[in-house]
Structure 1
Amino acid sequence: MILGIGIDLCAVARMENSLQKPAFAARVFAPQEQAFWQDFSDKRRAESAAAAFAAKEAFLKAAGTGLGGFALAELAVLHKPSGAPYFCFFGDAARFIEQNYLTAHLSLTHDGGLAAAYVILEQNSAGTCD
């Protein structure tokens, strides 16, 4: 059963400016996310960070919690070896996923100076959290 869906956009240029502030990156992105971008060019880092930021906001919309639902760094956007994105949850976000038997599905894209994310939260049968 679908619990919720969310979509969000983020301007890459806005993210590029925000990443100039180390406190912003530390507050919004998990260490694993930041490590993923460390060797990227400034443009590619901003594109990836903008997509991850959009994913976090799309997740909050899908969860119905709004911006105060979880600390953004608890919603880490990571990538499989194939490049496919997925969420890794920490703290209160991890507890929310577990207690509600949720699977998060994530799709990201960026083009023309914008990054977008689409999230579907699927509720599994009790006791079968995938």
Structure 2
Amino acid sequence: MELFVGTDIVEVERIKKAFDANSKFLERLFTQKEIEYFNSKRMKLPHIAGFFSAKESISKVLGTGISGFSWKDIEICHDEKGAPAVILKGKAKNIADKKGIRDIKLSISHTKTYAISCAIAIGGEKNDSADLKTDERS
């Protein structure tokens, strides 16, 4: 088994500037369900920044950064208790499958000025005996 960890922090102001400068910012990076979630919030920008950070963290878990797949291949949602959850699609799912990753745990936190996230996954079968040092002198 192998542990994969990714973290990210982003300034909410950076997301605001990107949002203000590009009318397609949300549509390019987020799924319709994610956009609906943002629209349900009074203060959208910290939530947008949190999801942006989460996608960055997940891309680090996958070991690729946001490369080789679309931002929309990672969807952030919430479970029945309100905890953030991850849905991988398309090429991002293919990358996770190749690494043996079946589930990614995610934590997101934000203030008015920063958003931070941490993603953790377990995957890949590893032969533990290969890690053992042997004494070949016997």
- TM-score, structure 1 as length reference: 0.83
1:71-109 deviations in Å (ceiling 9; x for gaps): 111111111232200111111112222343312111110
Q: Superposition pairs for residues 59-74 of structure 1, below 5 Å?
A: 59-74=58-73
Question: Within 2, Cα distance between the matches of 1:119 and 1:31?
Answer: 22
Q: Which residue of 2 aligns with 1:32?
A: 33
Q: Is the 8 A contact 1:78 1:88 kept in 2?
A: yes
Q: Which residue of 2 aligns with 1:96?
A: 95
- TM-score, structure 2 as length reference: 0.79
Deviation, 1:4, is 1.6
Deviation, 1:69, is 3.5
Q: How many residues align?
A: 123
Structure exhibiting the larger radius of gyration computed from Cα positions: 2
Stretches of structure 1 that go unaligned for 5 or more consecutive residues are 126-130
Question: Within 2, Cα distance between the matches of 1:59 and 1:84?
Answer: 16
Deviation, 1:64, is 1.2
Deviation, 1:61, is 1.4
Q: Is the 8 A contact 2:29 2:72 kept in 1?
A: yes
Name the Cα RMSD after superposition: 1.8
Stretches of structure 2 that go unaligned for 5 or more consecutive residues are 126-138
| Percent of residue pairs bearing the same amino acid type | 26
